[in-house]
Chains A and B, each alone.
Chain A
Amino acid sequence: MAKFTAKPNELSKIDYTPPKTHWLETPVEIREHMFCHAAKPKDLETVGFPYGREWRPNDEDWKLPENWKTIIFEGMRSLLKKYRSFQVFMDICVRCGACADKCHFFLGSGDPKNMPVLRAELLRSVYRGNFTLAGKILKKLAGARKLTANVLKEWWYYFYQCTECRRCSVFCPYGIDQAEITMMGRELTNMLGLQIGWIAGPVANCYMKGNHLGLEPHTITSSMEFFLDDIETITGIKIEPTFNRKGAEILFVTPSGDLFANPGTYTAMGYLMLFHELGLDYTWSTYASEGGNFGFFTTNDMAKRLNSKIYAEAKRLGVKWILGGECGHMWRVVHQYMDTWNGPADFLEEPVSPITGTRFDNARATKMVHIAEFTADLIKNSKLKFDLSRNDHLNVTFHDSCNTSRGMGLLEEPRYVLKSVCNNFYEMPEDTIREKTFCCGSGAGLNASENMELRMRGGFPRANAAKYVHEKYGVNMCAAVCAIDRVALSTSFEYWVPGVAVCGLHELVGNALVMTGEKERTQDLRLEPLPGKEVAE
């Protein structure tokens, strides 16, 4: 495969003119750098997904099982029956087009099939032809079409060009949730073994080893040792966290990316420092060592299986409640699905902060509190001391992660924390933040490297907003409460807006946190000199 070499000035020339032919007569063209590699058969077999085989998306022959159409129709019938939402979303769209220009992939590519309305229509047309009377009789006149191998390819190509970010649904007058449609589309393609490697690998890893990266217990603790060494270098304080400790009050779960990928590792250092300073009675787990849930990008059932591990571990350790780290889709799963799948978690207690006594009644059902809420509450109750000047080398903006903003309404808490630990905070334009935030461009399991053109196109609207505050206010740091954001935005900004780095919220908390018994700090969590301490270095 040729390397992706397109420069930003080429990629930003976006042609919004639709093709001359009707969309039904415009066959899908599977282009390099726009799709992910196929899943490895062994990863599908690990979790019992069907039809694992060697195939390549740009091959003519996808080696489909002979009865693939029957599998799809039966699958669709069963999904329609099981999910009322799916049935409703197939029926109610009036094609007003309010969603059309709200999708980051459409804005970045100009491909009309990335308009959410048309992406959904790819599936609806087949639904009409086979599940509605009008479609069966009137066929094309009623917007129906037949299912063919090319239609299936089109589904696959475009359902893996949607990050399930749900920005379009904010603007839909009917509230149609495009993510739910993409999820059904992916369930269907998964029935034929058409999964992508970047999702199947982490799912298999998480199922077997407890986290997406496949970190084994000794790898996790050794990685943590490095963070603890650095923290000691920076603060003079030696921290000794515990792992798999029965009887701890709180289980802490965060995405494994925080333990192994920059810049998430600095966020992990921030967590460690905060919990130490509080004297929090908590434990890490090397089994439930993943907050994220790539199963959510395959089938609801797989997501449920992976989610259950966190609760099984909480039960095994006998903790009272669960504190969750800075992850995106973890929170959509916890907030909107967990209770239906694996709830009620009535063996746990309604979370109460042991430091402030605040009862998190919003987490009554799931018993899981987001760390931004937890920290915001600490600050509100004056339990933490900060030296804001330690973040003075940073002009910070905040990227709302799709899943925490639109999926759980976490809008104020991260901002409150940021403003409490930084002197220089600037918002990106209104239409690109909070509920209307733009996706990083690489969510829902699309943060691979072979689909780099897709990622950069999808990341363009967010990067464009970052560029605005970079030029206007000199913003040089973007905070985000999601591990995919932290790696995806790092790549996207390096491409579109060099000079804006990415960090987690708790990296900045760790920088500013005044710890009991610490030495005079000269370095930030990246071991870079603090403002005014450059000479001392």
Chain B
Amino acid sequence: MNFSDHLIIFPVLLPLVAGIGLLALRGAGPDVQRGISLAATFALVPLAIALFAASADGTYAVYRLGNWEAPFGIVLVADRLAAWMLLITAAVASFALLYAVNGTDLEGRHFHVLFQLQLFGLNGAFLTGDLFNLFVFFEILLLASYGLLLHGGGRLRVKAGLHFVVINLIGSTLFLFAVGTLYGATGTLNMADLALRLAASPAGNTALVQSAALLLFVVFALKAALVPLYLWLPAAYGQTSAPVAALFAIMTKVGVYSMLRVYSLFTGLGAGPLDGLFDPWLLPLALLTLALGVLGAAASRGLRQQTAYFVVVSVGTLLAALALGTPGTLAAGLYYLPHSTFASAALFLLADSIARARGTLGDRFEPGPALPHAAWLGGLFFAVAVAVAGLPPLSGFLAKFMLLQAAVATPHANAVFAVVLVGGLIGVVVLARSGSLLFYRSQSAEGVGPSPTVATMAPVAGLLALTAALTIAAGPVSEAAGDIASQLHAPRLYIDAVLGARP
């Protein structure tokens, strides 16, 4: 056994070990904690790149925990999609943590421990090949996210946190009901094995497995913040601290990822009881999510809340790409996924800097003092807004262009074009209004809060550089996204790789 055989377990183990180590070293002072946390997070980037490179030729890395063969044992599976998600998570987490070490991490206790455990849950959820393990990793990332969400405390944050926790606990209960029903109907929880058994499930079980699959859909829709289950998101993301919100930009994508993974397997074989079960629902709900997200952004009273609504918009766009279901739209969605994550994370971080510089006014849309270093802050805001709104030259424009180009041939092209384009226009107007209010309608010459430093601006610039890199490398990246999409459309390969894995 050499290192590359065990590569897949490291993105899961490293944050767990780092988290436990940080807990043991809690008396060691902030510099040690920050050093370990940063090192562990940065180390995820080369690990994810190595996994991505290993999966690029279409191989599935299957790792049998405890060396039991699937479907009896639990497996971790790294395919292109999982490696892609790991890479995005590692990138966002690195920049969020770089921002957090400017002082946010000292506003409460155990920030770094929770941060690492959140990464542990995220990476595990992306890699697991077992439905019950997906539930367990969901719980891990949620429990860490509860702690992170409340980090720093405060009245509004506690209130938003209470809603977030309660709704997610109900979601977890529904997840367990769905898992239990599927187990009762098929006798397995390995996702590859479930796919086979569902495709061959007897007619008497159809209603049972359909209701289980729809329950799972509700759970994933809740995580992804699909209409009508998105109401928790603006308050929770808008009230929490900036690096946490930036990290949470990937958390809604866990719901989208789970939908992609589960439904590509469960409905991909064709002729099963779940075939076409979601088609009438997903596209209208996705477009409605997009529309309501844009309207919410227009009605927001603060920049952070507005950013949270743009997260909802990105979920709507992503799920629309998923719902259209052709390889082209799926590839566009997978290209849009990192872009939207980076862009909304950058806007969350920037909103925090702006709010701090405005002192007691915070991020509320009211005319306030002139901002210190307004040219720098304003320039960054302009660039980030361009990325969030999906204007050229940044990658959001390319992603939407690819999506619409691929959507032309689908039967619902009219609705998709109308909602995406009008939504995009309103998004531009909304962000332009926010920017002009924050930067131009200033009343006094002096800022009242601490001025932003290079250390707080660098993570924002870094995330922007990533979207710029996505634009410059659009050719290879969209090819990679196309490869991921084609792999998702061939679930038989995944099943063979998992169930055929022999020592």
**A and B together in one complex:** no
Chain A residues packing against B (C-beta within 8 Å): none
Chain B residues packing against A (C-beta within 8 Å): none
